A and B are shown apart, each in its own frame.
Chain A
Amino acid sequence: MQNFDYLVIGSGIAGLTFALKVAQHKPHSKVCIVTKANENESNTKYAQGGIAVVLDTILDSYQKHIDDTLKAGDGLCDRNVVEIVVTEGSARLRELIDWGVRFDKNGKGDFHLGLEGGHSQNRILHHNDITGFEIEKNLLIQIHRQSNIQLFSSHLAIDLLLEKDSQTVESKCSGALILNTETGTAEVFRSSVSMLATGGVGQVYGTTTNSVIATGDGIAMANRVGAKIQGMEFIQFHPTALKHGSSSPSFLISEAVRGSGAYLVNANGERFMVNYDSRLELASRDIVSRAIYTEIKNTGSDCVYLDCRHLDKVEFENHFPNIAARLKSEGIDVSRDLIPVAPAAHYLCGGIDVDVHGQTSISGLMACGECAHTGLHGGNRLASNSLLEAVVFAHRSYLKAIEIALKPSYIHESLEWFKYASANVESEKRIAHWRKQVQNIMDENAGINRMDKTLQAAKVKIKSLEIKVEKAIETVGFSLPLIELRNLIVIATMIVDASLERNTNKGTFFKIEFDKVKILA
């Protein structure tokens, strides 16, 4: 049993920013961060693009950024939230800079503002093409300086703990059951405020840009305690993940590459975006992804290509050193060769429903970052709005969290029933196999184009796997891969159910039968 005032689950930009702010403001409080991996492993690390902030008030304006966000969200954004996030962005950006995060500047000493799909103006601040990595690194430096923050690596949250509040008789979150994956022991971490910052769900798909730890643990845990969850059908597919070999995660070729002038061509060498959208290669991600998906189907190939041959090679390498190095290691010379790319699951627009202060529908439980649904993204996220959302909502959540009275929890859990499944080749092989099956089912049936009939079939298959996994837990006990798999199955079920329910094509969501209705009408 351990007691904390604030328990933060997840160590990406959302969790670290929130923890840092709370700890700095309340130096006598005890703040705990748990992460199942190493402290620096998260989707944040892989964010290449940057952070969208309106700094240039001559060419750009809050209104333009708001309009771009609303347009991408396809009518499903919460306008109030969009306004909040866009207008509060610059203040949060300054804090990042104060914490040591460096953003690229142009020759005149001003910030270099990049352009990405769906943005009407250049407004993406970035650190080369490794912005997320730069932010994560500096936040961790700050975290380690803060003596009232304890960071536990290799600690996996299994489930949230609820207790009845003695006064209001309402259920309240009092912490979480945490598994130390190195020792195999489970322990109760009590807290007054719990913050879910567990990131994305990309690993529910076979082709994803998300880290192998992006298994939707926070959303699955929130679901099990009955928190309200929304928008799970809105999965953004990044149009251009490198299609070379079959490593997971897939390596991302940032939108900014298209922003700097790269063309998309199909297997026949034709520049095809002219047939889909007047914004060509810089149309919003759902349109580009679906166009690529269609071209792949029509040409019978497994990819399309990014053509950078007309771009200045030196400039490309300066702006995208990380991408250039990776391509080089794959034997691709951008001045001569085409870059094979295909869409990959990239970002979850929905998640755990939170209000404008980051509070979920469960008292004492907050959520922030990719696992939260704030209403900013609506049906589709605008590029580089996610790091922005994370810092703005981490700040707002922090302001709320420090207001919440810190009442010690007396929740007691006997953990006698807990059985750890120590590593066993046979069962690990089986779990890995089931995980692959979930991913195959989702790739085939809940990807860019969906259909009720196949979603229904997917639901049965997922249910069948769920039963097998529950049986496995009964017989062998709990382990990290089994708990992740269990969570992936919850996520897959939520995505499929939400997809079956939705009957209009919006944002990233696309059902074939509704498209036909539109054509016939």
Chain B
Amino acid sequence: MTTLIKERAKSLNTFSKTNLAEEILRLKKEKNAIILAHYYQEPAIQEIADFVGDSLGLSQQAASTDADIIVFAGVHFMAETAKIINPKKRVLLPDLNASCSLAESCPPDLFREFIDKHPGHTVITYVNCSAEIKAMSDIVCTSSNAEKVVASVPLGTPIIFAPDKNLGAYIMHKTGREMLLWDGVCIVHEAFAIDKILKLHQKYPQAQFIAHPESNPEILKIASYIGSTTGMINHVKTDSGKEFIVATEAGILYKMQQEVPEKVLIPAPAKEDNTCACSECAFMKMNTMEKLYLCLKNETPEIHVSDEIREKAIIPIERMLNLS
């Protein structure tokens, strides 16, 4: 149920931004908490975070921290992963409704049916899925290590790959391995428009086109570099190119531009019209400084994962971390 407009409006502007940042830092110290923020978070959150990274980097940080509380400025599955790795620590997520279209595209009951229909397969799941899905998996991967993870499965063993069919198809192409793909997509990455990218490229003929592997196959076909968020940032830093058209969530451009202030970064256009903010992940943007502050102060909302799910889900995650 949406809230009444007056309630919505009244909750705004309760805090001033500067006080918030100070308060968050104070509480963080007091409670021995660590703030892990995803690259897609709003700039103010990225600035205040102890660590900013992509899914893989953040799970590695989560595994190595000695803080008592992990505040995850990201989406639900990421915080869940942190909790699975750190069952003794409290893991907080500023907004429990911050979900992920990929994770949502793979409901546990349907995935169970799918696995049962295809026995004998090694089940590889992309980290963008719920704890329940991870508990049904043999090994987890991120876009940084997916190739390596797939290569670790002995030749001749059939593979199920879920939930992102675009990443799956890309890895199939890269490794030459046949895989059975779950039909899920990221609604941000599927929105890029090839015709508009080509047009934009005519305007910037010197620009390199780089893309995240969650993008549609036709987009990946014309990309000169394909990689995870961290991979793309490193590429832009180390490559001699001066101009880049970037097809991924718009929020990453903030971090990227900070790393390469002298280079020109152009966001890739979405299918209909860029006014729609189609290439912004709305779920990631649900976290705000206000919510971050309240969550740290009240130590809620907290992520819980049942022991039964956790004990099963930790195995494929550890397999991945050991490979990385």
Contacts and interface: CB of A to CB of B under 8 A. Distances in A.
B44 to A, nearest CB: 14
Contact of A464 (B6, B8, B105, B283): B283
Given A433-B272, A437-B276, A460-B104, A418 B187 contact: no
A345 to B, nearest CB: 21
A159 interface: yes
Contact of B280 (A158, A413, A437, A468): A468
Contact of A434 (B4, B8, B12, B276): B276
Nearest to A470: B8
Given A460-B105, A465-B282, A177 B5 contact: yes
Nearest to A179: B5
A429 B187 CA distance: 21
Contacts of B10: 417
Interface residues of B, number: 29
Given A467-B282, A471-B285, A474-B12, A224 B101 contact: no
Given A433-B272, A460-B105, A468-B282, A225 B187 contact: no
Interface string A415-434: 00111000000100110011
B308 interface: no
Interface string A445-461: 00000000100110111
A324 to B, nearest CB: 37
Contact of B101 (A158, A433, A461): A461
A490 interface: yes
Nearest to A459: B104
A486 interface: yes
B188 to A, nearest CB: 8
A233 B27 CA distance: 47
A466 B187 contact: no
A464 B5 contact: no
A483 B10 CA distance: 17
Interface string B59-72: 00000000000000
B286 interface: yes
Given A437-B276, A464-B187, A467-B285, A456 B104 contact: yes
Nearest to A494: B1
Interface string B4-24: 111011101000000000000
Contacts of A426: 275
B1 A430 contact: no
Contacts of A226: 1
Nearest to B286: A467
Interface residues of A, number: 40
Contact of B2 (A177, A456, A457, A486): A486
Nearest to B273: A433
Nearest to B183: A453
Best-buried of A226, A426, A468 by chain B (most CB within 10 Å): A468
Contacts of A18: none
B4 A159 contact: yes
A453 B281 CA distance: 21
A79 interface: no
Contacts of A453: 110, 183
A467 B281 CA distance: 10
A463 interface: yes
Best-buried of A220, A456, A483 by chain B (most CB within 10 Å): A456
B277 A430 contact: yes
B137 interface: no
A290 interface: no
Contacts of A220: 2
A417 B107 CA distance: 40
A468 B278 CA distance: 10
B1 A460 contact: no
B224 interface: no
Given A456-B105, A465-B282, A468-B277, A159 B6 contact: yes
A53 B183 CA distance: 51
Given A430-B277, A433-B276, A468-B282, A460 B5 contact: no
A461 B187 contact: yes
B238 interface: no
B215 interface: no
A419 B105 contact: no
Best-buried of B9, B99, B280 by chain A (most CB within 10 Å): B9
A436 interface: yes
Contact of B1 (A224, A478, A486): A224
A434 B1 CA distance: 20
B152 interface: no
B240 interface: no
17 contacts: A159-B6, A223-B2, A224-B2, A413-B6, A417-B9, A430-B276, A453-B110, A457-B101, A457-B105, A460-B104, A463-B99, A464-B281, A464-B283, A468-B280, A471-B285, A473-B5, A486-B2
Interface of B: 1-6, 8-10, 12, 99, 101, 104-105, 107, 110, 183, 187, 272-273, 275-277, 280-283, 285-286
The 4 closest A-B pairs by CB, nearest first: A467-B282, A464-B282, A417-B9, A430-B275
